[in-house]
Amino acid sequence: MSEYQVAQQKSPVFYDRYFRKDELQHQTHYCPGCGHGVAHKLIGEALAELGLQDRAIIVSPVGCSVFAYYYFDTGNVQAAHGRAPAVATALRRSNPESIVVSYQGDGDLAAIGTAEIIHAANRGENITVIFINNSIYGMTGGQMAPTTLIGQTSTTSPWGRRANNEGFPIHMAELLSALEAPVYIERVSLGDNKNILKARKAVRKALELQKQGAGFSMVEILSPCPTILKMDPVVARKFVNETLTKQFPLGVFRDRKPEITVVNPPQRSVAEVLGIKKETATAEEKAARKAFTHDVTMKIAGFGGQGVLLMGQLIAEMGMREHMEVSWLPSYGPEMRSGSAHCHVTLSHERIGSPLITKPQVLVAMNEISLRKFAPQMAQGGLILYNRDKVPEDFTLEGARVVCVPASEIADQIGSAKVANVVMLGALLEETECLPVETAWGVIKSFVKNEKLLAFNKEALEAGRKYVDEKVLVGACCQPDGCGY
């Protein structure tokens, strides 16, 4: 064997050795004439030239490209089929100094991973996508790809791809160029050396842009797959240059930076964000408050928009500030959007078992539907606060008493229908004495920021108390049962 000189070394971004099993020590994973080897080399060279080897992470997905990590002496992450852009997104965002390459085939990127590539591109992720389009599934043995040409046979398009059955080949470079965010998209070919040099430039440019933090870049590489296409390597390259390029024209589809206004959220300490404040009350002070509160279970119900959920929250917050155990459980779901809403509130000095209240001691019924629906569930000796001046004529109930408080009317007189729930809260506190009214005022002050509304709330709380104090004595009960007036 005669002496020869090595004109070009392998890229330093490639490992010196790669692992192959037994009899395959002297060949790569890729078939003779396969484009992956060339594409790998272009990436390796570009990373080396740009000094990015240490910062680089190659994401290799499912397909022949899954073997990339055998060759690239960079950080490597293998991803699920089609998901490389999602994985790359989070890799890059987690370490903004990293250079992330999502290396994907046509099945991976243009079929199963369509959503991920479109949205990564649309978000303008700072990643570089190398898209190997060889018009066929290689790893799985020659099934149709989304880029398979019309008439091209594959194991799953035995009569050739038919537009009437499989649709037309998909053009990813054009498609992604319709988006606002991408900075650079070019389609290149590995069909001959001249084109390989152009591809080399494109890959380098894409990585350089990422290095600058410019945004999303993709190089679509038309690449030969001689084994699956059953062509010899030379014919396969010719197929790429003469046939594939007709369907997938080469060129730059996007090379501009979009206008991006950067909005950064305010930065706060963990304690501030979590709402952590210093505890001031001592154990003795807490225990002393016990005399001012008592256990109660309640259901608060009405139309959506009457503030029944908020009223429950106010009561729960009050209970908590009085050092009680509390729970607030809303009805939730589609009914929130129209119709009725209700919540369960428990105030207790002991640990609370079920937050679900099926026999409430107190029911606040802000409308007639709620009154009729929940009144039969009342605990013996329970109290119903009903948002009218009297109960419906045909309404009867045993074992619980009804106190009628026309809260909505009172709220209207005050000047805001919104505060009907606070009128009812005032009435509830006056009637049950489960919590001190000053606590209610303290809670309302921390919930309501608008001065005018706060004034209404103050008036409402007082009006509710006063109404119960002055007007509710007789005639509010539906039937004399020993519990009522």
3-state secondary structure of 325: strand
Question: What whole-number distance in Å separates Cα of residue 99 and Cα of residue 88?
Answer: 10
Is 27 near another protein (CB under 8 A)? no
Give yes or no for residue 322 binding another protein (CB under 8 A). no
Shortest Cβ 264–another protein spacing (Å): 8
Q: Is 296 in the site for another protein (CB under 8 A)?
A: no
User: Among 38, 47, 66, 296, which residue sits at the site for another protein (rule: CB under 8 A)?
Assistant: 66
- Of 28 and 76, which CB lies nearer to another protein in the complex structure? 76
Distance from the Cα of residue 317 to its chain's centroid = 29
24 lies in the binding site for another protein (CB under 8 A): no
Q: Does 77 bind another protein (CB under 8 A)?
A: yes
**String of contacts with another protein for each residue 235-274, x by CB under 8 A:** ------------------------------xxxxxxx-xx
Question: CB atoms < 10 A from the CB of 480, how many?
Answer: 9
Could you give the CA distance from residue 129 to residue 358 in angstroms, rounded to a whole number?
58
Count of residues of this chain found to bind another protein when the rule CB under 8 A is applied: 70
Where in 343-362 is the site for another protein (CB under 8 A)?
352-356, 358-359
Report in angstroms how near the CB of residue 317 gets to another protein at its nearest: 5
Q: How far is CA 480 from the centre of its chain?
A: 56
State the nearest-atom distance from the C-beta of 180 to another protein, in Å.
Answer: 16
In the bound state with another protein, the residue whose beta carbon lies nearer, of 146 and 319, is 319
Nearest alpha carbon to residue 417 among 385, 449, 456, 383: 456
In whole angstroms, the minimum distance from the beta carbon of 186 to another protein comes to 24
Nearest-angstrom CA–CA distance, 35 and 224: 5
Kindly write out the interface string for residues 94-133 of this chain, putting x where it contacts another protein by CB under 8 A and - elsewhere. xx-xxxx--------------xx-xx---x----------
Tell me how far, at minimum, the Cβ of 345 lies from another protein, in Å: 9
Euclidean distance between CA atoms 79 and 467, whole angstroms = 67
Shortest distance in whole angstroms from residue 196 CB to another protein? 27
Q: Using the rule CB under 8 A, which residue among 46, 47, 88, 199 binds another protein? A: 88
Neighbour-count burial of 157, counting CB atoms closer than 10 A to its CB (0-12 exposed, 13-18 middle, 19+ buried): buried
Work out how close the CB of 115 gets to another protein at its nearest, in angstroms, rounded to a whole number.
5
Residue number, 116 or 430, with CB nearest to another protein: 116
Beta-strand runs (E) in 210-367: 217-222, 251-255, 296-303, 325-330, 340-348, 362-365
First to last CA, the chain: 116
Residue 51 engages another protein in binding (rule: CB under 8 A): no
* Residue 21 or 256 with smaller CB distance to another protein: 21
Q: Can you read off the two tokens belonging to residue 38?
A: 């060339």
Which residue is it, tokens 């606070």?
A: 422
Residues 6+ apart with CB under 8 A from 445: 454
Q: How many angstroms separate the CA atoms of 91 and 253, rounded?
A: 26
Which of 86, 375, 424, 425 is in the footprint of another protein by CB under 8 A? 86
Which member of 317, 430, 431, 459 binds another protein (CB under 8 A)? 317
What values do phi and psi take at 291, rounded to 5? -65, -20
Question: What are the backbone dihedrals phi and psi of residue 235, each rounded to the nearest 5 degrees, phi first?
Answer: -65, -35
What span, in angstroms and rounded, lies between the C-alpha atoms of 154 and 222?
18
Angle at CA of residue 121, ends 116 and 123, nearest 5°: 95
156 lies in the binding site for another protein (CB under 8 A): no
Helix segments in 336-419, DSSP class H:
368-374, 407-414
DSSP classification of residue 290: G
Decide: is 213 part of the binding site for another protein (CB under 8 A).
Answer: no
For 57, the 3-state DSSP assignment is: strand
Cβ 137 to another protein, closest distance in Å? 18
Interstrand relation of 184-189 and 251-255 (parallel, antiparallel or unpaired)? antiparallel
Give min distance, CB of 331 to another protein, in A: 9
- Is the CB of 256 or the CB of 277 nearer to another protein? 277
Please state the closest distance from residue 299 (CB atom) to another protein, in A: 12
Q: Judged by CB under 8 A, which of 93, 373, 466, 471 binds another protein?
A: 93
Q: Pick the closer one to another protein by CB: 164 or 267.
A: 267
Q: Which residues contact another protein by CB under 8 A?
A: 21, 53-57, 59, 66, 69, 73-80, 83, 86-91, 93-95, 97-100, 115-116, 118-119, 123, 265-271, 273-279, 313, 316-317, 320, 325-330, 332-334, 352-356, 358-359
